[in-house]
Amino acid sequence: MKQFGESVDGYNIPVLNEREIRGAAGILFLFMLISFMLIMFEADFLLIKYFITVFMLDMAIRVFINPKYSPSLIIARFMVRNQTPQYVGAAQKKFAWIIGLTLSTAMFIHMIIFNAYGPANGISCLICMILMFFEVAFGICIGCKVYGLFNKDTVQYCPGEVCELKDRQEIQKTTGKQVLVLLAFGLLVAGMIFFFNDYFSKGPQDLMDVLRGIK
């Protein structure tokens, strides 16, 4: 039962399914985002206290027992059960989850035990959100990259095969025209903010009132 990673034919080290990991990160990110919004707009800390406790326990199960018994990974495994697994090395994921466990433990002590809030807690929460967002949106495990800085010779099976040195394919390259489009779009957004901010700032009206006004 107490094992980190799984043995799969064709892989010489324990591996994990990256699809499950991204799914679990998405689940946790969603609840953390909702909790963060409740704090920002309602000053409601109830959900974040439950979330921090669950998040810490989930990370502890992954690190100290076995990732396959992590509740978020079990749910994610069920959701992606019909997708072909994408195997990644377990060692770097363990390092990343130790970072998550450290941050969540700090938040637990700060907010649950001491029942306090402050910049340190907010920064820890923000770091967790950034780490999970990059995992979910881009498939980039920042903790794994930090692990790779100190273990360049031992890191294997990274998501997207980024551990292997190879030239990017043509479809992966960003062209000068694409950069110009991005810059033009940024200028368009800036122009919208400059010229239409007052108009966009007006609160919306009931549609029926607008239609009656037209008549």
**Residue 83 within any structural domain of the chain:** yes
The reported pTM is 0.83
d(CA 47, CA 135): 23
DSSP code for 86: -
CB proximity list for 93: less than 8 A, separation 6 or greater: 5, 16, 21, 67, 141, 143, 144
d(CA 183, CA 177): 10
Report the domain count for the chain: 2
Q: Residue 125 is part of which domain span?
A: 15-168
Domain check: are 195 and 159 in the same one?
no
DSSP class per residue in 4-54? SSB--TT-SS-EEEHHHHHHHHHHHHHHHHHHHHHHHHH---HHHHHHHHH
Sign of CA dihedral 201, 38, 33, 82: negative
Domain check: are 158 and 207 in the same one?
no
Give per-residue pLDDT as tens, 59-70.
Answer: 999 999 999 999
- At 153, the pLDDT band (50, 70, 90 cuts) reads low
- At 28, the pLDDT band (50, 70, 90 cuts) reads very high
Domain check: are 99 and 132 in the same one?
yes
Mean pLDDT of the chain: 90
d(CA 45, CA 35): 7
> Does the pLDDT at position 160 exceed 80?
no
Is the distance from CB of 122 to CB of 67 less than 8 angstroms? no
Domain check: are 96 and 146 in the same one?
yes
Give per-residue pLDDT as tens, 90-99.
Answer: 999 999 999 9
Tally Cβ neighbours within 10 Å of residue 164: 9
**Residue 102 within any structural domain of the chain:** yes
**Cα–Cα separations (whole angstroms), residue 57 to 6, 35, 68, 72, 127:** 21, 17, 14, 11, 18
**Residue 32 within any structural domain of the chain:** yes
Domain check: are 98 and 192 in the same one?
no
d(CA 140, CA 134): 5
**Residue 206 within any structural domain of the chain:** yes
Domain check: are 89 and 33 in the same one?
yes
- At 210, the pLDDT band (50, 70, 90 cuts) reads confident
Q: Which pair of tokens denotes residue 209?
A: 């009132």
Domain check: are 19 and 97 in the same one?
yes
> So what's the pLDDT on residue 213?
78
> Does the pLDDT at position 118 exceed 90?
no
